[in-house]
Amino acid sequence: MNKTGINNESEELSHLAAELRVLRKGSGLAAWKLQDTTNLRTAVAHHLDEEPQALSIEQVYAYLLHEIKELGNNDSAKMLRNAYAIGQEEHPGSLTQRRADMSIDANVHPDTVKAHENRAINALVIKLMAHGATKAPFPDALSEQTRMSGVSRNTMLEALEKTTEEALAGCINWARIR
């Protein structure tokens, strides 16, 4: 508890949510925008059982993309990916334009789109801040790619897809064995 009577964990959740909300502005999510996201870096480091300063911006970025993908395909997750311009890197437009386009596609008001985005951000915050979460090492394919200098977003996305495919194949094989 701090001197204002607010629980430190609540403050951390609030600060992380604020960082994630800022990342959707402008042209959307980009690795360079993660420079000042200390709460995000700390949360990712916690999940990877690493020290925050040991992670590169590219590793935090790749992990965040992975966690966003893991939110699923419900409306909130789709609208968050739209807000972050994931898959729209060539011509992302502004956040306002992406919301307007999504509101037309989903046949809802732009404020509803924003509410879905915020709901998905809250789910992401809870997932990232979960204490006692299973800590996994940084996936090898991502680790190799992000250690190289000048890694492009496409290269990181390809490595992320490869890692996800390998993980899913392992789960399917494990299920067959049982």
pLDDT (mean) for 80-91: 91
How many other C-beta atoms lie within 10 A of the C-beta of residue 12? 15
CA distances from 169 to 153, 162, 164 (A): 24, 10, 9
Examine residue 171 and state whether it is found in any structural domain, yes or no.
no
pLDDT, tens only, 108-121: 999 999 999 999 99
* pLDDT band at residue 139 using 50, 70 and 90 as cut-offs: low
What's the CA gap between 147 and 56, in Å, rounded? 8
Overall number of domains in the chain: 1
Prediction pTM value: 0.70
Domain that holds residue 89: 8-138
% pLDDT > 70, the chain? 68
pLDDT score for 1: 47
As a whole number of angstroms, the distance between CA 135 and CA 146 comes to: 19
Token representation of residue 75: 């409306």
Q: Is residue 151 part of a domain?
A: no
Evaluate whether residue 152 is within a structural domain. Answer: no
Counting every residue, how long is the chain? 178
